[in-house]
């Protein structure tokens, strides 16, 4: 099959997000307004919202989380987009990535010159048990859900298969958490923008206040190994292996390539866009990898005419810690079974040779599922334009990639961005 191509080029000229976290009293509409304003402020030469031709929004399940189905026209209305077309994409945690796909297609096809892409989710109004159940409706309801699989459970099962074959351990996963929280601590929009050391101090202060004995840990790993500080949720996964329950929204402004310089002198070009769908976990022949990611990556790399070694900035879908390790292999950064070693050697840290999730990832930044795939692009936007502040990668990076999984990996969206 010949490499896929766009009929015309697509550029990113603005990207913004709300803070991710728990925001009682705010609905997805309010969160999206925050994201839209942040995106507006990011467009160097400004733009007239009336020039937006179409809107594509990623949202997993406001119908279950907020009791509001049919969100696209409401969200479009909240930012003054009516009567423009507004369509919601639902692909579980890859809803945001899927909305990007639709926006890219609209511009590449010529039907639109300027597109607003968004993603939003409001999860924290529901108790944790209910959130677990809502997320579990993205697993196979006929055969996985009934067996007792939750989302942490499905990804924990992948982790056991990976650990068994390649020798990774629970310590590997703890090191992912450690690394992502180191990065997230430098991201003011992150829900848990704290280092593990900061969590230790919080626990100690809280004990002190209550007049209880102050707990001591030798170091951050000792804290993560302590089952009282970091309890098992679904073995081998513990609390600090799971991305949080989050509220949040993100927004992007896409335009046709030849218009990009009206809005900024530093546009990013979407040079690769791959999407793949796949089977439920029990139908896979290999549970140590996620085939959709390899396939979406292959399509995106071929379209972009780049290879994994060319990528300088990369946000992967670390809904759970081991998922990040597997993603770095699926995308071709490391060989099979090598990802966990690379992680433990510090190669994926901010100062490593293959930095991953400089934003803090979903783990630290937060995972409002419909917004996550769009939020990843905000980090690439900042890094490739030299605007990532304290977490800015050195070397003036020009090539970035996002990897957004849906469900247990039954969908993956990979985008490749270039600053020319």
Partner 1 sequence: MSKDFYNAAGFYEYVDEKKLMGTRCKSSGELFVPPRPFSPSCSGGEMEWVEMSGKGKLEAFTVTLYGPTRMVEAGYGPKNPYCVGIVRLDEGPAISAQILGLDLTKPEEIKIGTPMKLTFLERTEGEEKKTYIGFEAT
Task: Please answer whether residues 419 and 266 qualify as being in contact, where contact means their C-beta atoms are separated by less than 8 angstroms.
Answer: yes
Bridge-based pairing state of the strands 313-315 and 399-406 = parallel
Should residue 193 be labelled a site residue for partner 1 when binding is judged by CB under 8 A?
Answer: no
Is the CB of 287 or the CB of 306 nearer to partner 1?
A: 287
How far, in Å, CA of 35 to CA of 315, rounded?
19
Select from 101-109, 201-209, 233-241, 389-397 the region that touches partner 1 (CB under 8 A). 233-241
Out of 14, 16, 118, 153, name the contact with partner 1 by CB under 8 A. 153
Which structure tokens are listed for 163? 């650990």
Should residue 161 be labelled a site residue for partner 1 when binding is judged by CB under 8 A?
Answer: yes
- Given the residues 55, 93, 242, 319, the one annotated as active site: 93
Q: How far is CA 111 from CA 104, 105, 174, in A?
A: 11, 9, 47
Should residue 63 be labelled a site residue for partner 1 when binding is judged by CB under 8 A?
Answer: no
Should residue 283 be labelled a site residue for partner 1 when binding is judged by CB under 8 A?
Answer: yes
Which structure tokens are listed for 174? 């703890």
Should residue 229 be labelled a site residue for partner 1 when binding is judged by CB under 8 A?
Answer: no
Query: How many residues sit close enough to partner 1 to count as binding (CB under 8 A)?
Result: 36
Phi, psi at residue 164, to the nearest 5°? -65, -45
Should residue 267 be labelled a site residue for partner 1 when binding is judged by CB under 8 A?
Answer: no
Question: Is residue 164 among the annotated active site residues?
Answer: no
Task: Please answer whether residues 121 and 368 qualify as being in contact, where contact means their C-beta atoms are separated by less than 8 angstroms.
Answer: yes
Which structure tokens are listed for 143? 């055969």
Out of 164, 201, 305, 420, name the contact with partner 1 by CB under 8 A. 164
Which structure tokens are listed for 310? 């060319």
Select from 17-25, 32-40, 84-92, 279-287 the region that touches partner 1 (CB under 8 A). 279-287
Interface positions, 237-266, toward partner 1 (CB under 8 A) = 237
Out of 83, 148, 188, 395, name the contact with partner 1 by CB under 8 A. 148
Q: Shortest gap between Cβ of 220 and partner 1 (angstroms)? A: 22
Is the CB of 145 or the CB of 204 nearer to partner 1?
A: 145
- Given the residues 181, 317, 367, 403, the one annotated as active site: 367
Question: Is residue 93 among the annotated active site residues?
Answer: yes
How far, in Å, CA of 123 to CA of 131, rounded?
7
Q: How buried is residue 239: exposed, middle or buried, by Cβ count under 10 Å (0-12/13-18/19+)?
A: middle
Site string (98-137) toward partner 1, x via CB under 8 A: ------------------------------xx--xx--x-
Q: From the CB of residue 65, how many other CB atoms can be counted at a distance below 10 Å? A: 25
How far, in Å, CA of 63 to CA of 50, rounded?
29
Select from 255-263, 275-283, 363-371, 389-397 the region that touches partner 1 (CB under 8 A). 275-283
Expressed in angstroms, the distance from the first to the final Cα of the chain is 28
Is the CB of 90 or the CB of 241 nearer to partner 1?
A: 241
Q: Shortest gap between Cβ of 373 and partner 1 (angstroms)? A: 25
Should residue 281 be labelled a site residue for partner 1 when binding is judged by CB under 8 A?
Answer: yes
3-state secondary structure 318-384: CCEHHHHHHHHHHCCCCCCCCHHHHHHCCCCCCCCCCCCCCCCHHHHHCCCHHHHHHHHHHHHHHHH
DSSP H helices, 43-91, are 62-65, 72-78
Q: Which residues are catalytic?
A: 93, 367
Residues that bind partner 1 (CB under 8 A): 128-129, 132-133, 136, 140, 142-150, 152-154, 156-158, 160-161, 164, 231-237, 281-284, 287
């Amino acid at each position: 099959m010949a490499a896929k191509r766009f009929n015309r080029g697509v550029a990113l000229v603005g990207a913004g997000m709300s803070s991710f976290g728990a925001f009682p009293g705010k609905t997805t509409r309010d969160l999206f307004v925050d994201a839209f304003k942040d995106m507006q402020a990011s467009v160097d030469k400004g733009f007239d919202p009336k020039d937006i031709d179409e809107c594509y929004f990623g949202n997993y399940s406001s119908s279950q989380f907020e009791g509001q189905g049919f969100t696209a026209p409401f969200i479009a209305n909240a930012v003054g987009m009516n009567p423009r077309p507004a369509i919601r994409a639902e692909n579980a945690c890859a809803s945001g990535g899927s909305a990007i796909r639709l926006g890219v297609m609209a511009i590449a096809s010529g039907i639109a010159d300027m597109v607003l892409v968004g993603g939003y989710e409001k999860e924290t109004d529901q108790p944790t048990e209910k959130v677990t159940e809502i997320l579990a409706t993205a697993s196979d309801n006929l055969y996985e859900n009934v067996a007792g699989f939750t989302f942490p459970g499905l990804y924990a099962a992948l982790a056991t298969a990976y650990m068994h074959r390649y020798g990774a351990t629970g310590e590997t996963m703890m090191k992912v958490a450690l690394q992502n929280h180191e990065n997230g601590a430098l991201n003011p929009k992150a829900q848990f923008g704290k280092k593990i050391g900061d969590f230790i101090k919080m626990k100690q202060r809280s004990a002190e206040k209550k007049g209880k004995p102050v707990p001591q840990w030798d170091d951050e790993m000792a804290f993560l190994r302590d089952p009282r500080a970091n309890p098992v949720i679904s073995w081998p996964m513990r609390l600090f292996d799971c991305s949080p329950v989050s509220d949040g929204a993100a927004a992007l402004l896409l335009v046709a390539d030849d218009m990009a310089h009206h809005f900024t002198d530093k546009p990013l070009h979407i040079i690769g866009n791959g999407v793949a769908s796949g089977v439920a976990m029990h139908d896979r022949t290999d549970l140590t990898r996620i085939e959709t990611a390899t396939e979406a990556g292959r399509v995106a790399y071929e379209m972009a005419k780049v290879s994994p070694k060319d990528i300088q900035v990369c946000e992967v879908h670390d809904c759970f810690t081991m998922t990040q390790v597997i993603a770095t292999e699926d995308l071709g950064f490391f060989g099979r079974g090598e990802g966990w070693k690379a992680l433990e050697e510090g190669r994926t840290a901010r100062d490593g040779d293959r930095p991953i999730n400089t934003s803090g990832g979903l783990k630290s930044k937060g995972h409002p599922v419909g917004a996550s795939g769009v939020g990843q692009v905000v980090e690439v936007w900042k890094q490739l334009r030299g605007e990532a502040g304290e977490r800015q990668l050195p070397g003036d990076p020009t090539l970035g990639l996002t990897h957004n999984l849906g469900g247990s990996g039954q969908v993956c969206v990979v985008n490749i961005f270039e600053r020319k």
